[in-house]
């Protein structure tokens, strides 16, 4: 008897599952058709783009009204300078 058969015998004897009625595991089917999924994802993308635009506008207004500079200005030398400062 192979190891697999021995394991199955042990499971049937000592396991808590009802082995008299084996259940087939099936993947849950999506209730969403591909076309519905595309539409949902397009809506989500549109919402995220709008959210991004609102946040950018808020930053611009804050910069104008309060003279702040919230956005981080990146320069090509910035990453190499920060690496040398760690040493």
pLDDT value at residue 13: 78
pLDDT value at residue 79: 56
Residues of the chain with pLDDT under 70: 1, 17-19, 22-23, 25, 27, 74-87
Distances in Å between the Cα of 23 and the Cα atoms of 8, 18, 66 are 15, 9, 65
Report domain extents, the chain: 33-68
Q: How far is it, in rounded angstroms, from Cα 36 to Cα 21?
A: 37
pTM above 0.85, yes or no: no
Q: Percent of the chain at pLDDT above 90?
A: 31
pLDDT value at residue 12: 76
pLDDT value at residue 87: 47
């Amino acid at each position: 008897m192979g190891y697999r058969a021995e394991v199955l015998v042990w499971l049937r004897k000592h396991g808590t599952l009802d082995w008299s009625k084996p259940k087939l595991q099936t993947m849950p089917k999506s209730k969403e058709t591909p076309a519905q999924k595309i539409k949902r994802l397009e809506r989500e993308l549109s919402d995220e783009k709008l959210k991004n635009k609102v946040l950018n506008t808020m930053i611009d207004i804050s910069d104008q009204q309060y003279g702040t500079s919230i956005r981080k200005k990146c320069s090509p030398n910035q990453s190499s300078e920060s690496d040398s400062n760690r040493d």
